[in-house]
Amino acid sequence: GCVVIRRGTETIPASQGMHLLLHDILLTSGDGRVGAILQDGPGIGLGPNTELKIDRFVYEPADGKFGLLLRLAKGVLVYFSGRIAQFSPDAVTVETPVGVVGLRGTQFAISLGGT
């Protein structure tokens, strides 16, 4: 299926090995699915009709600075924790239109209806 990255005013087709940047928005079509691995090792998976923004990512273990903020507007997100969650579990947050999810384990899944 179709997966694109909205980067500023550009829309870029996603491809294997592509690097994601801060503030990128991942969008999947009705038959699209994608998986990604972030720098500190967590895996994220997106199902069909999903919109997810990488709003904050800080991984500076030498300075003790950690943070991950994902904003899920709609769709399905599966998250498997990485080193940020090991060093600072409360530094991982997913915001949705209906609430905020804080990491309290090693994995979770969220499913939101379209808006």
Q: Is the pLDDT of residue 95 over 90?
A: yes
**pLDDT value of position 105:** 64
Tokens 């709609």 — which residue? 74
- CA 71 – CA 46 distance, rounded (Å): 12
pLDDT, tens digit, 9 for 90 and up, residues 42-64: 789 999 999 999 999 888 889 98
| C-alpha count within 13 angstroms, C-beta hemisphere, residue 88 | 16
Q: Is the pLDDT of residue 115 over 60?
A: no
Question: Is 86 in a helix, a strand, or coil?
Answer: helix
pLDDT, the chain, mean = 88
Q: Please name the residues in contact with 8: beta carbons below 8 A apart, sequence gap of 6 or more.
A: 23
pTM, two decimal places:
0.88
Query: 64: which 2 tokens?
Result: 């003790």
Q: Is the pLDDT of residue 35 over 50?
A: yes
- CA 16 – CA 113 distance, rounded (Å): 27
Instruction: Express as a percent the part of the chain with pLDDT over 90.
Output: 51
Q: Which is higher by pLDDT, 39 or 72?
A: 72
Instruction: Express as a percent the part of the chain with pLDDT over 70.
Output: 97
Q: How far is CA 71 from CA 16, 21, 62, in A?
A: 22, 14, 27
* Contact present, 77 and 46 (Cβ < 8 Å): yes
